[in-house]
Structure 1
Amino acid sequence: MDMIWVILIGVGALIAGVALGFFIARKYMMNYLKKNPPINEQMLRTLMMQMGQKPSQKKINQMMRSMNNQNNK
């Protein structure tokens, strides 16, 4: 009878730990993305200029669309 309680408490603690870990990780990632946003058009334009390319708006739009499509897959 005592062994059943030990197993139930262990399973309950495991489930609570997984749920708590999920919410902590979710909160951490939301804060991280807020502080470090994914690449945007201005970052892409600067990157291309540093590589010696003169970026046109058409080229930037094309690269942004390509990155968004890749992220959605």
Structure 2
Amino acid sequence: MADRDIDAVGLLCPLPVLKARKALLEMPVGAVLRLVASDPAAVIDVPHFCAEAGHEFLSLDDTGDVQTYLIKRG
């Protein structure tokens, strides 16, 4: 269950990651963000961002047109 949702469908790199970054900064440590994106590059960018920023990449659900990412604030 996510504590916050971000809809980044239709946005291209780097906007999905930037929106996730901004949202995570406003969330307490341990909170979970659900990011929904359609940018094909996000499959690479989101896990990389998590590793670099110290957040935990929980999961990726790829339904074809959109991907849903769960990220735990580190």
Into which bin does the TM-score normalised by the smaller protein fall? under 0.3
Q: Whose helix fraction is larger, Structure 1's or Structure 2's? A: 1
Q: TM-score, normalised by structure 1?
A: 0.25
Q: Whose strand fraction is larger, Structure 1's or Structure 2's? A: 2
Larger Rg: 1
Q: Which structure's relative contact order is higher, taking Cα pairs within 8 Å and 6+ residues apart?
A: 2
